[in-house]
Structure 1
Amino acid sequence: MNLLHLLLRPSLVRRVSMTLLLASLLIWVVLMAYYYWQETGQRATTTRQRERAELVVAVLAKIDDVEQVRNGAKLYSALFNAPYQRAGLPENFLLQLEDRQGQVLFSSAAGGKRLLKGVAGNVIENEFNGERYHVYRAESGAWVLLIGEPVTSPGWLLARLSSNLTMSMIISFPLLLLPIWFAVTRGMRPLKLLSNRIAARGPDDLSPLEFNVEYAELSPLAAALDRLLDQLRTKLSREHGFVQDAAHELRTPLAVISAQAHVMMKAETPEERKQAGTHLDAAITRASHLIKQLLDLARIENDEAHTTERLDLCQLLRQALAETVPIATEGNIDLSLEAPDELTRQIDRNAFLSIVHNLLSNALHYGHEKKLDAEHQRGEVHVELILLNTVVMLSVADDGPGIAEAERALVFERFYRVAGSDKSGSGLGLAIVAQAVARLHGRVRIESGLHGRGCRFIVELPLQ
């Protein structure tokens, strides 16, 4: 069973050998067609008959004796019929010699009668005993020669051609196969060396291979492997940093939870227990929010294909805004939406909602700061969804303190917080937005917000 599996396993050497065999078969067919055309073509027949006749009459023209001429004609008749004898066929080639008066001096056909007719210098077709002949007439000196070549049956001609050609192909095939087999097996040696070098590495060794290949065709493979290892190093480095940052971020709320639980146990008055309970609840909420965002980020970064469905983005956006109304009311923020009645698109629901929820949460949490003047006591968050050609554009703008130009490229990094902000947060919301936008093959950018203040996050998603 193992031997059968080994024989049937795909192999480049076997594939090259089979390709060469098929190419040889194709060459055999083409050459058979070419040789058959050469044997049966009118021009080839005329040329062949003319050469034979001119050869014979050139010799017979030098002989004056009738008996010698007759013997010469017999000799050439036997010579021309020899191939038919070797093929096991009856002597079908006809040769007829006449003098200038039309008397038949020799005929290879039985009876010695005048059998063949022809036109000097041309090949015509005659029929004798039910068989067709190509007859050529040549004249020289005192003699007239007519030669008749039988119209060969296709089966016999193909058999004769195939036997000769097949033997030539059988002899030449090993001479072609062996050099190609040697070249392929030698050319595969660098791949085996590369495989051995990779297999000899430790499980944590992701350094570049730096494998200098001898053949130009293998260079892209070695370069692609080095790029893959570089991507793995980068990904592992990011994951390692992510784990460290996540542990650091979780340590603070967990420490608060532990401290406040200890305070509640030691509290002597209801007020102390209530205050400790409030702090404990806030720490638990913060830890739960951080864990949820970590899970969201891990889910979005998953390389597995997400399920898409045809959804009305405007309806999803209205539902998300409705869920944030209590938070906006509590924070003294006016929410507004500008969108068409319907905008349907094939999209990943979870990725789109992650973008919307995190941008709204970011605007409501960081955007609004109470103003000193009564005219601007309320904050504003404006959401817009429009279709521009083949791009869906989502915009979330606020009138808060905004983000400095130098920091706008950094806010999409994980656990990054804007310098000088007194608002607490995990630093993961915008990182989730960036990953979700990448998942949907879009792009996100930051501009100035409402009334020349705050931020406007613009997400562009392709319609298809």
Structure 2
Amino acid sequence: MKSNKPYSIKRQLTLSVGLLVSALMLLSLYFNFQSAKHEVEEVYDARLGQSAKLLLLTLSVSSTDDALENYKTHFDHWMSSISQVSNANADNDQPTPFGHPYEQNLVFQFYQQGQLTWSSVSELPPLSNGPSHIGYSDILKAGEQWRAFQVSMPSSDALDQFVVVAEKQKIRQEIIHEIALSTAVEQLLLLPALLLLLIWLINQYFRPISEMRSAIAQRNLHRLDRIYISKNTTELAPLIEALNSLLAELEQAWQREKRFTRTAAHELKTPLAILRLNAENALKSNDPEQLREDLTNILKGIDRTDRLIHQLLTLAKVDSIGALTFHRVELSAMLRAVVADLVPLALKQDQDISLNAEEVYLAGDKLLLEVLFRNLIDNAIRYSGKHSVISVDVTQDRQFIQVSVSDSGPTIPKAVRERLFEQFYRGASQIGDGAGLGMSICKDIISLHGASIEVTAQEGELNRFLVRLPIRLKL
């Protein structure tokens, strides 16, 4: 089974960057060493070639035995003086008035007629690869590896005189290593400092994440406020915005749940208490008429409680909807079904109810639209009184599909109209048995559909609820 153990992005990033930087610096050291080696070899090879040419030109001009002997005497004197001064100093690498001690690692040899005539180091055997050889070569002599350059005069008797200038390879390697090491030490000392700087920078750049983690850890059911961090970043901003949006939705859901619980407890308490009282009276009653009245009150209480529960559940559903998914709805057919369901209530009060609607289609939530118009028509039936006339009319123009629910009942006072859509407000509590939720539910459904509702009630005219659905909802 694959492990889903969490890992630290910060640790992985720090380790990866540290290894990458270390590898790059080591690679840089390698290339620096190769470059230093190449440059040193070029410089020293050039020095060998130039020294050999100058020496050949000098010796070829005066190559008599006396002149060579004189040169040798002077040269031996200089080398001897260098050795004496160098041995007398604590540091034998310091330059002297007669030259540098490193000259002892250089050797030159002068050849005539293919024979070694003069060597700066007498005990060293010939380093020449033969009179015909010209140029650079690597030679192993006397247990030492030498880098040599041989040159002869460009004349018909070129092979009569030639010079070999050679240098110990270990001296070259020592210089190359010292140059490379001097650079490497600086980079190796810089590496820990660079790694520490990278760790510090990563910690700094990860601080907003740590701050956000701390802020999220502080959130709970009783604290769902927005998350703020002191230094927001482009990468974290969308995440924080999404979290804040989620927290806002959770806060709203939590508030809806608390409101629903409080509402249900408050609204159900009274009808249940009345039901209990009527039941107790029925148990104690010996009068058939009184018993019948108590049982009738119990049935009415059950009906009111059932309606209240239905309204509470509808309110909870409407409150929980964030956005609707619209579907094609035939408005006229839906209204006919709603009116048909409510006709028995109208007949009980000898009311005349009618529907005037042509075939109209729109986009919306069919269930919520049914709840909307059922509440409006049901309210008209309940509160307009006996023998009233109720009319449902559907019209449309260029901007709206309009549904009008009107009745000929008592005129709704202005003070009632202004508060009609507030939750738990009952404008005619002496007539109806509602909980004051129906109009509030209607307003929420209308808001979800982007529609509007208007209540008009003039003295001597019909009470009218006009719902305007935007023409953009029409399919």
Query: 1:314 corresponds to which letter in structure 2?
Result: S
- Structure 1 position 248 matched with structure 2 position 269: yes
Hey, what's the Cα distance between the residues in 1 that align with 2:324 and 2:249? 23
Counterpart mapping for 1:195-344 below 5 A: 195-198=216-219, 206=222, 213-217=229-233, 231=252, 234-235=255-256, 237-251=258-272, 253-255=274-276, 257-259=278-280, 261-262=282-283, 266-268=286-288, 271-303=289-321, 309-329=327-347, 330-339=349-358, 341-344=359-362
Among residues 447, 459, 464, which one is paired with 2:455 in the alignment? Answer: 447
Q: Deviations over 1:185-205 (max 9, x none)?
A: 444332343345347xxx6xx
The structure-2 alpha-carbon separation of the partners of 1:240 and 1:15, relative to structure 1 and needing over 3 Å to count, comes to farther
TM-score (norm 1): 0.53
> Where do residues 116-265 of structure 1 align in structure 2 (5 Å cutoff)?
174=195, 177-198=198-219, 206=222, 213-217=229-233, 231=252, 234-235=255-256, 237-251=258-272, 253-255=274-276, 257-259=278-280, 261-262=282-283
**Structure 2: runs of 5+ lacking an equivalent:** 25-45, 59-134, 137-186
Q: Is the 8 Å Cα contact of residues 357 and 393 (structure 2) preserved in structure 1?
A: yes
Q: What are the superposed Cα offsets for residues 34-88 of structure 1, whole Å, 9 maximum, x if unpaired?
A: xxxxxxxxxxxxxxxxxxxxxx9xxx9xx999969xxxxxxxx98xxxxxxxxxx
Alignment pair present for 1:436 and 2:452 = no
For 1:403 and 1:412, locate their aligned partners in 2 and report how far apart those are by CA, in whole Å.
Answer: 13
| Contact 2:404/2:464, CA 8 A, preserved across alignment | no
1:400 to 395, 405, 409: 409
SS in 2 for 1:460: strand
Cα deviation digits, residues 218-263 of structure 1 (max 9, x gap): 8967977985686467435523431333223433552464256336
Amino acid across the alignment from 2:271: L
Would the alpha carbon gap of residues 229 and 315 (structure 1) be closer, same or farther in structure 2, given more than 3 Å must change? closer
The structural deviation recorded for 1:321 is 1.8
Give the secondary-structure state (helix, strand or coil) at the position aligned to 1:455.
strand
Give the drift of 1:278: 3.5
Distance in 1 between residues matched to 2:450 and 2:12, nearest whole Å: 44
Q: CA deviation at 1:448?
A: 0.6
- Letter of the structure 2 residue corresponding to residue 384 of structure 1: V
Cα distance between partner residues in 1 of 2:429 and 2:7 = 64
- 3-state SS, counterpart of residue 433 of structure 2: coil
Rounded to whole Å, the distance in 1 between the matches of 2:203 and 2:295 is 81
Given that residues 335 and 380 in structure 1 are in contact (C-alpha distance below 8 angstroms), is that contact kept between their aligned partners in structure 2? yes
Matched, 1:359 2:368: no
Q: For residue 356 of structure 2, what is the amino acid of its counterpart?
A: L
Partner of 2:419: 410
In structure 1, list runs of 5 or more residues that go unmatched. 29-55, 69-76, 79-166, 371-376
Task: Give the match for residue 102 of structure 1.
Answer: none
Task: Give the Cα–Cα distance (whole angstroms) in 2 for the partners of residues 306 and 10 of structure 1.
Answer: 40
8 Å CA contact 2:409–2:463 kept in 1: the answer is yes
Matched residues in 2 for 1:409 and 1:18: separation?
68
Question: What is the deviation of 1:418?
Answer: 0.7
In the TM superposition, residue 301 of structure 1 has moved relative to its aligned partner by 3.3
CA distance in 2, matches of 1:396, 1:249: 31
CA 1:358–1:224: 2 relative to 1, 3 Å? closer
Asked if the contact 1:363/1:397 (under 8 Å) is kept, the reply is yes
- Which residue of structure 1 lines up, in the alignment, with residue 6 of structure 2? 9
| Deviation of the 1:314 alpha carbon | 1.9
Please give the TM-score of this superposition, normalised by the length of structure 2.
0.52
Q: How many pairs are equivalent? A: 342
Equivalent residue, structure 2, for 1:122? none
Taking the aligned partners of 2:191 and 2:397, their CA distance within structure 1 comes to 71
Q: Tell me the distance in 2 between the aligned counterparts of 1:15 and 1:236.
A: 43
CA deviation after TM superposition for structure 1 residue 360, in Å: 0.8
Match of residue 350 from structure 1 = 367
* Superposed displacement of residue 452, structure 1: 4.1
For the structure 1 residues 208 and 353, does the alpha-carbon distance in structure 2 shift closer, same or farther, using more than 3 Å as the test? closer
Q: Which amino acid is the alignment partner of residue 349 of structure 1?
A: K
Instruction: Give the letter aligned to residue 337 of structure 1.
Output: N
CA contact (8 A) 2:421 2:443 kept: yes
Distance 1:429 1:227 in 2: 27
Change (3 A) 1:245 1:414: farther
Q: Which amino acid in structure 2 is aligned with residue 247 of structure 1?
A: L
User: Which protein is bigger by CA-based radius of gyration?
Assistant: 2
CA contact 1:397–1:449 (8 Å) conserved in 2: no
**C-alpha contact (below 8 Å) 1:417/1:427 kept by paired residues:** yes
Deviations 1:315-352 (A, max 9, x none): 1112212222333344323423233x24153x333212
The residue that corresponds to 2:42 in the other structure is none
1:456 and 2:465 equivalent? yes
Q: What is the letter of the counterpart of residue 296 of structure 1?
A: T
Q: Kindly tell me: are residues 276 and 258 of structure 1, through their superposed partners in 2, closer, same or farther at Cα, counting changes over 3 Å?
A: closer
Asked if the contact 2:380–2:390 (Cα under 8 Å) also holds between the matched residues in 1, the reply is no
Q: Give the CA deviation at 1:285.
A: 2.4
Q: Distance in 2 between the 1:311 and 1:238 partners?
A: 32
Q: Which of 415, 427, 434 is 1:425 aligned to? A: 434
